[in-house]
Structure 1
Amino acid sequence: MNSIDFTPLYRSSIGFDRLASLLDSALTSDNVSAGYPPYNIEVVDDNRYAISLALAGFEESDLDIKVEKNVLTVRGDKADSSEHRYLHQGIANRSFERKFNLADYVEVTDAVLKNGLLTISLVKEIPEAMKPRSIAINQASNGVLEHQKDDSRESKSKVA
């Protein structure tokens, strides 16, 4: 499959290169096991999210949850249950790996396995330095900012 050319995006946007690579990898990724396990992604409120995975038959010891480089990975490795003889096995107990790309500043806060559902809580916490802030507009006279004039007066008085 050919990848999409994001060059026009780069001409007028700064810092969206990660988004373009995410889109490109999503379009070219291997979706062999895309349906297992089924999951929901829920918006709890403005900055909180929850991912729920249906993991019937899995225990906490069968699961591994990691976050590395803005990618949340959930792995399940079910021990071999060869002691059971099934006439029909409709509950999948196979191993899996599910990955979720996380935006900047999204952190995993909790994971709970209850009634066959693994619920992973996430929160987006933007640092204070990254939040919008107002910039004061200074008064200018004759094209020179007031604080620049004050600095030049101080430097002249030091010379005298």
Structure 2
Amino acid sequence: MSRLSPFSSPLLLGFDSVERTLERIGKGADGYPPYNIERVRMRDADGGQEEQIIRITLAVAGFRPEDLEITTEENQLTIRGAQSEAKDREFLHRGIAARQFQKSFLFADGMRILGAELKTGLLMIDLARPRPERVVKKIEIAVSD
């Protein structure tokens, strides 16, 4: 039995990459570490115009900056965390696991990363969304007889 895709319509041309993106999102649904995505209003560097940014906040208590790695490749932001084990420690009870993680986010074309900050166990990554320009282009019709 063949699988029908919502993007298989002949009216949706060039959306095959969107379908692949949705499949990739569905596979990476691990809940650790917990995170928030929020819209934040900020003033630009001149203190004039207000702009909106998107902030991704991950709860990474126990991780130091050197335990975290943030990379981008094409339109994918990847955050990796790995805590190093101290060999000289002897635990009588271990309730806090030294856990590794990898969390990925896909973002739209043109989005750019403004920066990242680690503060009180929260890793905050700010992204700027480009302002879309509305372009209307007239297509000339060539006549050949």
Same fold (TM over 0.5): yes
AA aligned opposite 2:32: Y
What SS class does the counterpart of residue 55 from structure 2 fall into?
strand
Question: Aligned to 2:84, what secondary structure does the other structure show?
Answer: coil
Segment of structure 1 superposing worse, 38-47 or 49-58: 38-47
Contact 2:55 2:127 in 1 (8 A): yes
Q: Which runs of 5+ in 1 are unaligned?
A: 137-160
Q: Is residue 2:38 matched to residue 1:42?
A: yes
Instruction: Please give the TM-score of this superposition, normalised by the length of structure 2.
Output: 0.74
Paired residue secondary structure (2:61): coil
Candidates 66, 70, 75, aligned match of 1:70: 75
| Partner in structure 2 of residue 5 of structure 1 | 5
Match of 1:131 among 102, 114, 133: 133
Q: Corresponding residue for 2:84?
A: 79
Q: Percent identity?
A: 34
For residues 135 and 8 of structure 1, do their structure 2 counterparts lie closer, same or farther at Cα, with a shift above 3 Å needed?
closer
The 8 Å contact of residues 114 and 128 in structure 2, kept in 1 or not, is answered as yes
Structure 2 counterpart of 1:76, one-letter code: G
TM-score (norm 1): 0.68
The change in CA–CA distance for 1:70 and 1:7 in structure 2 (over 3 A counts) is: closer
Cα 1:15–1:123 shift into 2, 3 Å: farther
Could you report, residue by residue, the CA deviation over 1:100-128 in whole angstroms, capped at 9, with x for unpaired residues? 111111111110000000000001124xx
Shift of 1:69: 1.2
Using the alignment, how far apart are the partners of 1:3 and 1:59 within structure 2? 45
Point out the structure with the larger helix share: 1
Q: Deviations over 1:60-93 (max 9, x none)?
A: 011100000110000011001341515241x443
> Which protein is bigger by CA-based radius of gyration?
1
Deviation at 1:30, TM superposition (A): 5.0
Q: 1:4 to 1:134 in 2, by over 3 A?
A: closer
Once residues 3 and 78 of structure 2 are traced to their aligned partners in structure 1, the CA distance between those partners, rounded to angstroms, is 24
Question: Which position in structure 2 is the counterpart of 1:145?
Answer: none
C-alpha distance in structure 1 between counterparts of 2:4 and 2:90, whole Å:
48
